[in-house]
């Protein structure tokens, strides 16, 4: 059996179930990995400043957030990659023309195009975002990530990016009209690659679990990539393994299949 040293876990749909709870089996799996001296890192599209409580609950202090734009290892920032301002401006322009809303994330706040929008309020409630303010040009150079909240069908098709950016549908029930902005050179896969290099850990010694298309690069790069049973259908082709649903001990069963749990 390979000498596994690090475990990367997505949050929504991987750790958190649809009712925002964490299965006991997931907590047991995480604790058992720590006992085996396997590092556990939360790798998420969420802003890190909004998941500190979850980290405290699971006793995890290392994060890759904003879909790979910011990395924190044991409390210390190890990398940060803000978006290009011209890309931010383009997305805001297209969103305004089509009555879409946008959530823009910095390392300390979430900025919204309209705090009073019903679409925005639903999004903030779903993901428990609390550090919120109205976006202004003053923070445009600090944007680490963005989520576009579209209206109607195929709203994402209105955005024409170069080859360096694509949109990833949010894989949460009721949120399929929302799309994370993913950069080809700034994503979870690149983030875990950077952290592995910094820690001197071989790719083959890494494990990752995810359920959304924003996990594609991470699952492809990890030595053992697991797509949850509830994953986006297009994700399975990018994962080495398929485990059970988040509501059916998906993380536990995946680690068990590697011989790490009984």
Give the per-residue pLDDT at 177: 94
**C-alpha to C-alpha distance for 236 and 139, rounded to whole angstroms:** 37
State the chain's mean pLDDT as an integer: 95
Model's pTM, two decimal places?
0.90
With 80 as the cut, is the pLDDT of residue 249 above it?
Answer: yes
Residue 107 confidence (pLDDT) = 94
pLDDT number for residue 163: 78
The CATH fold assigned to 85-183 is: 3.30.1240
How do residues 184-235 score in pLDDT, each as one tens digit?
899 999 999 999 999 999 999 999 999 999 999 999 999 999 999 999 999 9
pLDDT at 109 over 90: yes
Q: What DSSP letter does each residue of 18-29 carry, written as one string? A: TTS-B-HHHHHH
Question: What CATH architecture applies to the domain 6-81+186-257?
Answer: 3-Layer(aba) Sandwich (3.40)
Contact 164, 86 (CB under 8 A): no
Domain extents in the chain:
6-81+186-257, 85-183
User: What are the pLDDT digits (tens) for 85-106?
Assistant: 999 999 999 999 999 999 999 9
């Amino acid at each position: 059996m390979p000498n596994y040293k690090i475990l990367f876990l997505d949050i929504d749909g991987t750790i958190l179930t649809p009712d925002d709870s964490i299965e006991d089996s997931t907590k047991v799996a995480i604790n058992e990995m720590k006992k085996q001296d396997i590092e556990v890192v939360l790798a998420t599209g969420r802003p890190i400043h909004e998941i500190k409580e979850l980290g405290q609950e699971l006793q995890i202090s290392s994060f890759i957030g904003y879909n790979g734009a910011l990395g924190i290892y044991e409390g210390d920032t190890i990398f940060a990659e803000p978006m290009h301002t011209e890309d931010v401006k383009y997305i805001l322009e297209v969103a305004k023309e089509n009555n879409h809303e946008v959530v823009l994330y910095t390392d300390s706040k979430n900025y919204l195009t309209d705090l009073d929008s019903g679409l925005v309020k639903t999004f903030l409630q779903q993901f428990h975002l609390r550090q919120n303010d109205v976006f202004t040009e003053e923070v445009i150079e600090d944007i680490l990530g963005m989520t576009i909240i579209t209206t109607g069908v195929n709203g994402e098709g209105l955005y024409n990016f170069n080859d360096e950016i694509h949109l990833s549908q949010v894989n949460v029930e009721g949120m399929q009209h929302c799309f994370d902005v993913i950069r080809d050179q700034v994503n979870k896969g690149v983030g875990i690659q950077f952290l592995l290099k910094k820690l001197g850990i071989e790719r083959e010694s890494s494990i990752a679990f995810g359920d959304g298309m924003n996990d594609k690069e991470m699952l492809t790069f990890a030595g053992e990539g697991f797509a949850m049973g509830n994953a986006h259908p297009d994700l399975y082709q990018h994962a080495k393994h398929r485990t059970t649903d988040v509501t059916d001990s998906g993380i536990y069963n995946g680690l068990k299949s590697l011989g790490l749990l009984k």
